[in-house]
Amino acid sequence: MAIATSYTEKTDEQKAICEMVRQFADEQIIPNAEHYDHEDIFPEPIVEQMKELGLFGVTIPEEYGGMGLDLTTYAMIVEELSRGWISISGIVNTHFIGSYLLMKFGTAEQKQQYLPRMATGEIRAAFSLSEPECGSDVQAIKASAKKVDDDRYEINGQKMWVTNGLLSSLVFVLVKTDPAAQPKYKGMTCFIAEKEPGVSENTGEYAGFMVPPKIKKLGYKGVESTELVFDGYRCPAQNILGGEEAGLGQGFVQMMDALEVGRVNVAARGVGIAQRALELALRYSQERRTFGKQIAQHQAIQFKLADMATQVDAARLLTIRAARLKDAGERSDLEAGMAKLFASEAGRFCVEESFRIHGGYGYSKEYEIERLYRDAPLLLIGEGTSEIQRMVIGRTLLQRHKI
Ligand SMILES: Cc1cc2nc3c(=O)[nH]c(=O)nc-3n(C[C@H](O)[C@H](O)[C@H](O)COP(=O)(O)OP(=O)(O)OC[C@H]3O[C@@H](n4cnc5c(N)ncnc54)[C@H](O)[C@@H]3O)c2cc1C
C-alpha cells in the first residue's frame, strides 16, 4: 500500500539545515534579541554570521554562488529564524523577494550583475510597493518614471514602509510609467533602483534618492522601515526589471507574482513566532504554581496549550503545502493566501495566549513574550492584510469553481 509523504517530513538535507539554523537561533539570536530590540539597533554581528552561513543566498542558484534550494526549504529556514526573532527574518525577506524577481524576470546581465553579490549578502535588496496614501490598493500608486533621454528614466515620488530601506543597495520599486494606461496595472513598471547603503541623501550617480529617518514602530525593531523619496532620480533604462523591451509595463504582474512567494515567507514567520510562543508557554506553565500546583495542571491552561499546539501544526502544514505546490510549478495563489492568513493569525493567537499564561510577567520587558507580543501584529499586515488575503482566497475560489 502506498503511504503518502507527510507534509512536514524533511529530507536529510532539510533536517541538517534546519538543525543548523535552530542552533544559530538558540545560541546567537534569542540571547541577543532583547538587547537589539530594546535599543532598536540593527543586529550587525548576527547579520555578519548569517552571511557566513550563506543565509542570504538560500534560493539563489549555485551558478551565482547561492545554495540553490527550493522554496519549501527556504520556508523551513524562515520558520527557524523567526522562532528566534522576526526582525532577523525581515532582514532576509525582502532580499529574498528581490532575488526571486531577478531569477524569474531578470535579464541575463541583470542576474550576473546582482545575484552573486546578493548570494553572499554583500549587497541587500528591498522591495517597495507601498506609498503614504496606499498599501492594499497597489494600482493607486502615484510614484512615476518618465523617459528623459535615450537611456534614462527619471523617477519621482514617495514610497512608504520600506523594510531594509536604509541599508539596502538595491530597491525593487514599482512606479507608474504610463499613468493613463487602462487597465491601470499595464502602466506600471518595476525598476531596480541602486543606491549607497546606509546613506540618507545619495549623491553623484544616485542623486535624487533620499531615505528619511527610520519610522518608529511598536515592534519589529532592529530592522529599519523607512520612507523613500525620489526627486529627479535618474535610473538607467537597463535597470527596468527584465530589460526595457520586455519589462516596461510588466511591473504589476511581476510584483504580484513575487508577493505569492512573499506570502509563503510571511506564513513561515507566523509559524516561527507561534512555535516560540508555545515553547515559552509550555515552560512557564510548568514553572509557575498557583493553588498548590503547576498552572499547567489547571485544565483551563492545558486547553490553551492544546489550542496553541494545534494552531502551530495547522499553520505549518498550510505553509509547507503552499511552498511545495510552488516548487512543483503548480498554481498556489489560493494556498499561499490561506497559509498567510492562517499562520499570521495563528502567530497572533499563540502569542496572546502565551502572554496570558505568563500573567503579570508577560507585561514585563524582562520576559521574551513581551517582545513577541509587540512583534506578532506586523504579520497581520505585511504582504497583504488578513482582509486582503480573504479577498484573494474568495476571488480565487470563485474562479476555480465557476458555474
Ligand atoms: C513594519 C512594516 C513593514 C513593511 N514593509 C514593507 C515593504 O518592505 N515594502 C512595501 O511595499 N510595503 C511594506 N509594508 C506596507 C504593508 O504592505 C502595508 O501596510 C499593507 O499592505 C497595508 O496597506 P496600508 O497600510 O496602506 O493599509 P490600507 O490599504 O489603507 O488598509 C487599511 C485597512 O483597510 C483594510 N482594507 C483595505 N482595502 C480593503 C478592501 N477592499 N476590503 C476590506 N478591507 C480593506 C485593510 O485590510 C486594513 O485593515 C510594511 C508595513 C509595515 C507596518
pLDDT of amino acid 163: 97
Q: Best mutation site among 139, 385, 395 for ligand 1, i.e. most ligand atoms within 8 A of its Cβ? A: 385
Please check whether residue 375 is in contact with residue 390, taking contact to mean a CB–CB distance below 8 angstroms: no
H-helix or E-strand containing 128? Answer: strand 125-128
Let me know: does 76 contact 18? Beta carbons within 8 Å: yes
Ligand 1 mutation pick, 381, 390, 392, max ligand atoms within 8 A of CB: 381
| Residues with active-site annotation | 383
Helix (H, G, I), strand (E, B) or coil at 15: helix
Ligand 1 atom nearest residue 136's Cα: 29
Nearest CA to ligand 1 atom 37: 136
Cα(236) to centroid of ligand 1, in Å? Answer: 30
Residue pLDDT, tens place only, 66-100 = 999 999 999 999 999 999 999 999 999 999 999 99
CA distances from 56 to 96, 116, 124 (A): 7, 10, 8
The response to whether residue 130 sits with its C-beta less than 6 Å from ligand 1 reads: yes
- Identify which of 242, 267, 229 has the alpha carbon closest to the alpha carbon of residue 93: 267
Q: Is 336 in the pocket of ligand 1 (CB under 6 A)?
A: no
Distance (Å) from CA 262 to ligand 1 centroid = 14
> Does residue 223's CB lie within 6 angstroms of at least one atom of ligand 1?
no
Residue 334 pLDDT:
94
Ligand 1 atom nearest to 130, measured from its CA:
11
Whether the model pTM is above 0.85: yes
Which residue out of 87, 130, 139 has the highest number of ligand 1 atoms within 8 Å of its CB and is therefore the one to mutate? 130
Neighbours of 16 (CB within 10 A): 11
Ligand 1, atom nearest to 388 Cα: 47
Closest by alpha carbon to 138, among 195, 210, 190?
190
Give the position, in ligand 1's atom list, of the atom nearest the Cα of 220: 1
| Ligand 1 center from residue 385 Cα (angstroms) | 6
CA-wise closest residue to 252 among 181, 349, 187, 168:
187
The partner residues of 234 in beta bridges, in order of sequence, read 154
- Give, using CA atoms, the residue closest to atom 42 of ligand 1: 387
How far, in Å, is the centroid of ligand 1 from the Cα of 381? Answer: 6
Which pLDDT does position 198 carry in this prediction? 97
Any atom of ligand 1 within 6 Å of the Cβ of 390: no
Output the furthest CA–CA distance in the chain (Å, rounded): 80
Ligand 1 and 253: CB distance under 6 A = no
The pLDDT value recorded for residue 73 is 97
Contact assessment for residue 68 and residue 61, using Cβ atoms and an 8 Å cutoff = yes
* Contact call for residues 188 and 240 (beta carbons, < 8 A): no
Q: Which three cell numbers stand for residue 237?
A: 533604462
- For residue 150, the model assigns a pLDDT of 86
> Residue 87: CB within 6 Å of ligand 1?
no
Are 172 and 192 a contacting pair, CB within 8 Å? Answer: yes
From first to last of the 403 residues of the chain, give the pLDDT tens digit: 555 555 668 999 999 999 999 999 999 999 999 999 999 999 999 999 999 999 999 999 999 999 999 999 999 999 999 999 999 999 999 999 999 999 999 999 999 999 999 999 999 999 999 999 999 999 999 999 999 998 999 999 999 999 999 999 999 999 999 999 999 999 999 999 999 999 999 999 999 999 999 999 999 999 999 999 999 999 999 999 999 999 999 999 999 999 999 999 999 999 999 999 999 999 999 999 999 999 999 999 999 999 999 999 999 999 999 999 999 999 899 999 999 999 999 999 999 999 999 999 999 999 999 999 999 999 999 999 999 999 999 999 999 999 9
In whole angstroms, give the CA distance from residue 207 to residue 210: 8
Among protein residues, the one with the nearest Cα to ligand 1's atom 27 is 135
Distance CA 347, CA 359 (A): 19
Residue 292: all three cell numbers together: 498548590
